[in-house]
Amino acid sequence: MKHNKALLLLLACSFSLYAQKSSDKKIKPRNEFIPELMAKMTIDEKISQLVQYTADGTVTGPKTGINYIEEIKKGNVGSILNATSVKYTRELQELNLKNSRLKIPLLFGYDVIHGYKTIFPITLGEAASWDLKAVELSARVAAEEAAAAGVHWTFAPMVDISRDPRWGRVSEGSGEDTYLGSKMAVARVRGFQGNDLMAANTVLACTKHFAAYGAAEAGRDYNTVDMSERVLRETYLPPFKATVDAGVGTFMTSFNEISGVPATGSKFLLRDVLKGEWGFDGFVVTDYTAINELIPHGFAKDSAHAGELALRAGVDMDMVGGIFMKNLKKLLQEGKVTEAQINDACRRVLEAKYDLGLFHDPYRYNNEKREKEVIYKKEHLDAALDVAKKSMVLLKNDNNVLPLRKEQKVAFVGPLVNDEWNIIGSWAASGDRYGYAVSVQEGVNKIVTDKNKVTFDKGVEIVDARRDMMQAALDNARKADIIVAVMGEFENMSGEAASRTSIDLPGIQKEFLAELKKLNKPIILVLMNGRPLTLNWENENMDAILEAWFPGTMGGDAIAQTLYGMNVPSGKLPMTFPRNVGQVPIYYNHKNTGRPYLGPTDPEQKYKSRYIDVDNSPLFPFGYGLSYTTFSYSNLKLSSKTMSMNGNIKVSVDVANTGNYDAAEVVQLYIQDKVGSVTRPVKELKGFEKIMLKKGEKKTIEFTITPEDLKFYDIDMQFTAEPGDFEVTVGGNSASGLQDKFVLVK
């Protein structure tokens, strides 16, 4: 915790250093400047503000064949995607201003998901930290580096809730839980946008993907979504609403349809809910070519119809597809869209540019000296290491084989043991892989000075079935006291367009583990992956399992320090790990059925909601994670056994560190509404606190429950709390804990 505070203080100082506005020209307040500017604009100039094209940088979607340089020269562009570096963005801005009659600056956007150059753990890994300050710090570092490289706008946070690990994009989100996901989303918005967007080291955040993209059928990317409005509002929309309340500047539409209407053409989502109910006053950008895709969806008959539907639904900016530029003026002339709709969209985009200070100084993000000073700053690398260590989840540790001791002879094996490419994960922005990312081998060599104590062998590849390297690895492992296998996925096996029907360890990695098992040595499995994997065999045969996710630039140091006890793992799972893919979708806060299965001791085994080949329970539940120490929970107390509709209840519990290491624990509060006018989940996360306890130390942790925590959409779709019985559970994961009850009364 002290480390977190020190890093935040250092970064706050650096932020203030670069937040100077002395060079900005004096212009009128936004509420005067923007209307006056728009009064001077032609309809073509207004439409151009609703257009984004991609530069020649990172490929994040299908090629369109549009020449962005020529479009800038014509004044047909409001924003550019995938242009980075001070030099390049300045060149494009100069070209734009030279050709812009009213000198309206370009907005530069880039996917800065979990770091710009200094790469942090993938977002799912960060969520495993359950540390909101650490997550905010990660986004703040990403913002400072991206802004220093000429980037104004990031397409993050992704706040999609997902219960299906087959979907590759679970790596970009915070997992399966609405409460945890909402807290993480707000932390990221605060980190990206800071307290003042006008500061030249903050970036505009973009909440995505609106909405319910994480519920794609069969876990297949871009696929159909269909659900009740109750499920949509209770489970999938709250993280989006939380970012609106936190002041997020932009939203992105999702590729999927909901109830037969593609999200990019959904008036219900964009105008009724987002801009209407929630009062969102930022702007909405589509995902990459999402307006064009209304045609293959079968929702629009041609590009003109697609543009009409999107603008009327509430889209403000067309990402890459060129539909608005090609069609909006003609649609206006034909009376199919209105000038008021175009004006509203244009106003929102211009206001974002104003808020970033681009009208005050279009080159305020173009400081080469700052770019050199900020990228890979030591404080940033320290922060990346800190967050990576907090993201590690210890899934198994039989006989306390971890932590390792320096005097042990350890055979490090596996395709990722000396990897610098995959360790930073997918969507790694401009992160350098070779030469910058720290591999596990490099991290271990910093700790173990006696090189006779460690060996390093790949043994096998991630996917390739070649076996010619296996024997050398087995020979070294045979001479060792203990084996550490570093395995997992390629970075591009998770993320966008990376759905999998099998979520086993790919290739022949499991076969190699089976050969290692025959040596009768303790084996520690270290995993790098972007999703929950099915690890039934591994759990039965490995002595320890450490889930490292893709841990980022400093990942090798974080893993090595964790293996050797310099860091005590404190991460908890933000997603359930299934026993096999047949259990998917699987999540902790499911509903009961009329025939709930009570487990192996249930006297009725046949006619219950269960599988006949595997238990209903997951392999590792949501919120689960071990430590090198042990924690005990005791003395659960409720301040009252009843709560009124305008009252609250204090819940307290004593948590003690009963082991031999100073360590952090995530104390989790769950509530079950026992009876409702519509059925309620078996439990729901409603609070958590990450605490540090020295060995032998005990702390009393207190949560406050209010009627707001008990609200849901009742049988009449009213968001309310109903009187009745509630059960409280407090513990270290979603599957166990101390319990008590209270009654909510009118």
Provide mean pLDDT across the span 82-89.
Answer: 97
pLDDT tens per residue, range 444-457:
999 999 999 999 99
pLDDT tier, 570 (very low <50, low <70, confident <90, very high otherwise): very high
**Residue 40 pLDDT more than 80?**
yes
**What average pLDDT does the segment 694-715 reach?**
98
For residue 599, the model assigns a pLDDT of 85
* Residues catalogued as catalytic: 287
pLDDT over 90 at 533, yes or no: yes
pLDDT at position 6 is: 52
- Residue 20 has a pLDDT of 42
Query: Which pLDDT band holds residue 234 (cuts at 50, 70, 90)?
Result: very high
Q: Which two tokens stand for residue 309?
A: 């539907």
List the one residue out of 63, 113, 62 whose CA is nearest residue 494.
113
- The β-bridge relationship of strands 454-457 and 410-413 is parallel
Q: Residue 13 — pLDDT band, cuts 50, 70, 90?
A: very low
> Is residue 5 over pLDDT 90?
no
* Geometric angle at alpha carbon 11, from 7 and 13, rounded to 5°: 120
What is the reported pLDDT for 4? 56
Residue 10 has pLDDT above 60, yes or no: no
For the chain, the residue count is 746
Sheet harboring 663-673: ordered strands across?
Answer: 642-643, 736-744, 724-733, 663-673, 684-693
**CA–CA separation, 414 vs 392, rounded Å?**
19
% of the chain beyond a pLDDT of 90 = 94
Between strands 698-705 and 649-657, the pairing is: antiparallel
Task: Assign 604 a pLDDT band (cuts: 50, 70, 90).
Answer: confident
- pLDDT digit string (tens) for 408-456? 999 999 999 999 999 999 999 999 999 899 999 999 999 999 999 999 9
Q: pTM (2 decimals)?
A: 0.96
DSSP 80-112: EES--SHHHHHHHHHHHHHH-TT-PPPEEEE--
Q: What is the pLDDT of residue 22?
A: 40
pLDDT of 600:
85
516-534 residues labelled b (16+ CB within 10 A) or e (exposed): beeeebbbbbbbbbbbbbb
What is the DSSP secondary-structure string of 534-602? Answer: --HHHHHH-SEEEE--S--TTHHHHHHHHHTTSS------SSPBPSSGGG-S--TTPBP-SSB---TT-
Cα separation of 252 and 154, whole Å? 11
Whether 62 has a pLDDT exceeding 90, the answer reads no
> What is the mean predicted confidence (pLDDT) over 616-631?
98
Which among 127, 132, 136 is positioned nearest to 159, based on CA atoms? Answer: 127
Q: What is the pLDDT of residue 263?
A: 98
Instruction: List the beta bridge partners of residue 720.
Output: 712
Residues 6+ apart with CB under 8 A from 154: 109, 110, 111, 112, 113, 142, 143, 146, 192, 203, 204, 205, 206
Which pLDDT tens digit goes with each residue over 147-179? 999 999 999 999 999 999 999 999 999 999 999
